[in-house]
A and B are shown apart, each in its own frame.
Chain A
C-alpha cells in the first residue's frame, strides 16, 4: 500500500469498512430473525424452524428468496412516490446509525481505525438524530398506503416514538455527564478502568437510567410489549398492511436492524462496550496482538447477543400494553424518573468533584 497517498488509503479502507459492516449487519439481521423464531419456539415449547438446512440454519436464505420472488403489489389508491420511498427511509435510517458504533478497541491499520467507521465527537447525538428521522419512514408508509388500519398504525407509531424519544434522550444524560463527552469512544473508555466495576450500570450507579433506556428503546423500536403499531388483533398489521414483497422485507429488516442498534448502544453506554468485564485481570497484551484485537470484539458481540436475547425473552413473556397505559407510562412515569435521575447524578457529581 506504499504507493497510495494517505488520503487514498483512508478512502479505500473506509469503503471497505462500510461494505464489511453493512454485509455483517444484514447477515446479523437475517440471523436475528432466525434466533427469534427458534428462541420463541423454545419458550412456547415447540421446535421453531428446523427443516431448511441443519437446525434450520438456511431458513433466512429461504425467507429472503421467498420475499424477493413474491409479487410486488402497489395499491391503486396509494400515493406512489411516498409509498415507495417510505420503506427506503426506514431501512436507511436504521442502517446508518451503526456507522458510529465502535466494535473494538482502537486498532490502527495504516493510520485508520479499523473497528469503527466514523469516530464522531457527537456520536450519541447522531444516533438520536437518525432515530428521530426514522419516524418519517413509518409515518409516511401509513399515510401513503391510503388504508385506515395502516394510517391508525402509523399514527400510533409516530406518537409513541415521539413520546418515548424524550425519556430515551434524557436517560442518556447521566451517562454523558459521567463521561463528559458525547463521543461513543470516550464513553466506552470512561468505563474501561476497572472492568465490570466501572461500567455505568454497576459502578456508575446508572441502573435507573439503564432501565429507562431499555423500556424507552423497546417502545422506540415498536417491539413487544409496546408493539401497538402492528397489533395484529386490532390493526391487521399496522403501518405495513399494504406492503408486500421486498418493500415489506425492508420494514422487517429495519425493525431488526433497529433492535441491533439498540443492543449495541445499550452495551456501549451501560455495559462498557468492547471492554472486558474482567478489567485488567488478564495482562493487556494477552495472547499477542491478534488476540488483543479480537477479544474486545468477542466481548462486544456477547453483550449485543445478550440484549437481543433479552428482547426476544420479553416478547415471549409480556402481554401487550393498552394504548392509554402506554402513553401514561411514558409521560407520567419514565419522563419524571429520567429527570430525577439527571438531577441526582449531577448533584452527586458536583458534590464529589
Chain B
C-alpha cells in the first residue's frame, strides 16, 4: 500500500515539477506547483506524518499558492517567451545538478543497509499522537527557535504594511 502510494504520488510530484518548468503560462506553472505540494503531502502522510501533511496542504497549497494564483490573475500575466538562459546557467547548472545527483546517490548507497528498516510510519500510526509529540517538542526543546520565527514573521508583516502604506 505504502509502496503503491509512493510510486503514484512520487511520480505525480516529479511530473508536476517538470510540467512547472515546461509550461509557458504562469498560471499553469503555479497550478503544477500546487500538484507538487499536494503529492508531497500524500508522501508525508504515507510516512506517518499526518500533521505535517495537513499543514502542508493548508499552508502551502491552500494559502501561499492561492496568493500566487491571485497575483497572477490580478496582473493578468501573459504567455512567456521561450529564451535561451544565461550562459552561467549552462556552465554551472548542469555540473551542479550532476554533483547533487552523485552526492545523493552516494549517500543512499552508502546507507543502503538502513533503507527500509526505519520505523517512522509504524510507530507514529495511532500509537502515539503525532500532534501531541510535535507540540511538546515545539514548546519545550525548540521554544526559542519557535518564538524567534514567530517574531521574524511579525517583522515581515510590519514591513509589508510599511511598504504598502500610501505616502502621506
Partner of A122, one of B34, B54, B63, B66: B54
Chain A residues closer than 8 Å to B57, beta-carbon distance: 129, 132-133
Contacting residues of chain B (124-147) with chain A, CB-CB under 8 angstroms: 126, 129-131
Partner of B129, one of A125, A126, A142, A181: A181
Instruction: Give residues in A with beta carbon < 8 Å to B.
Output: 82, 120-122, 125-126, 128-129, 131-133, 135-136, 139-140, 142-143, 151, 154-155, 158-159, 162, 165, 181-182
Chain A interface, >50% SS class:
helix
Q: Does B107 contact A (CB under 8 A)?
A: no
Q: Name 21 interchain pairs, CB-CB below 8 A, sorted by A.
A: A120-B50, A121-B126, A121-B131, A122-B53, A125-B58, A128-B54, A128-B58, A129-B58, A132-B61, A135-B62, A135-B66, A136-B31, A140-B27, A140-B69, A142-B73, A143-B27, A143-B69, A154-B73, A159-B70, A162-B66, A165-B63
Please state if B70 and A132 are interface contacts (CB–CB under 8 Å).
no
Q: Does B74 contact A (CB under 8 A)?
A: yes
> Complex: how many Å from CA A142 to CA B66?
14
Q: Write the nearest CB–CB distance from A221 to chain B, whole angstroms.
A: 16
Which chain A residue lies CB-closest to B55?
A125
> Complex: how many Å from CA A17 to CA B130?
28
Chain A residues closer than 8 Å to B131, beta-carbon distance: 121-122, 182
> Complex: how many Å from CA A324 to CA B100?
50
Q: Does B6 contact A (CB under 8 A)?
A: no
Please state if A139 and B51 are interface contacts (CB–CB under 8 Å).
no
Chain A residues closer than 8 Å to B54, beta-carbon distance: 122, 125-126, 128-129
Q: Write the nearest CB–CB distance from B37 to chain A, whole angstroms.
A: 10
Chain B residues closer than 8 Å to A82, beta-carbon distance: 27, 31
